[in-house]
Homo-oligomer: A and B are copies of this chain.
């Protein structure tokens, strides 16, 4: 089992849940397996908030964080894991089967990271935009004839697997490579909001360099986010690249003519 301190480093994020009962079911599963941090992004039915003030409500519900966007909910996460059925999609990130997930999460938590496990709405799962915030995707190995799980049950299965199977992996890891994990400063994971700041600066630079704001809206922004996450940048990398793009941006904006000429 994970230690209590390790469990503190996992956030469960529900994006646009439609049914308040499912928020309650997710909170119950969290309590069963000793996880505490629930974030709800843009809930469809806001009545779930009433349940929070009820006597006997779980701490996980009382303390749940509401965020308008997934970007805010995972701002401090260094590893964002999306969940869902991938039957009808071609994933752009690495896909891990749930039975293989625990060692990855344990390693991330051990090197000082913070993990977000993200579930989409009951009806559509995670949207393409949601997925662009994810470093990797996890798939529960279900029967192809009935792949789609109930949200509360999917949460329970994932948290069970992570709680039960993470420690052995974490222990092995600590025994084999303690020096690497503890001392290499550049391997400190980069929280999601730093990547987002970088994405914004790069985007501004692209626009200043002549990309039309409209072209940046959907596809490009999406690809940019995925690219930056795929790079697995260190803190130092992030600082350096941010510096470069800020300088480019400042330069492009100082000289409006060069901008206009390109349009």
Contacts and interface: CB of A to CB of B under 8 A. Distances in A.
Interface of A: 1, 25, 28-29, 31-34, 58, 98-99, 140-143, 145-150, 152-154, 156-157, 160-161, 163-165
Contacts of A160: 98, 140, 157, 160-161
A108 to B, nearest CB: 22
Q: What is the copy number of this chain in the assembly?
A: 2
Contacts of A153: 25, 28-29, 32, 152-153, 156
Nearest to A152: B153
Nearest to A156: B153
B164 A156 contact: no
A28 B150 contact: yes
A32 B151 CA distance: 12
A163 B157 CA distance: 12
A1 B29 CA distance: 24
A184 to B, nearest CB: 33
B156 A1 contact: no
Contacts of A1: 141
Most chain B CB within a 10 A radius of its CB, from A28, A58, A143: A143
B143 A99 contact: no
Contact of A142 (B32, B146, B149): B32
Contact of A33 (B28, B143, B164): B143
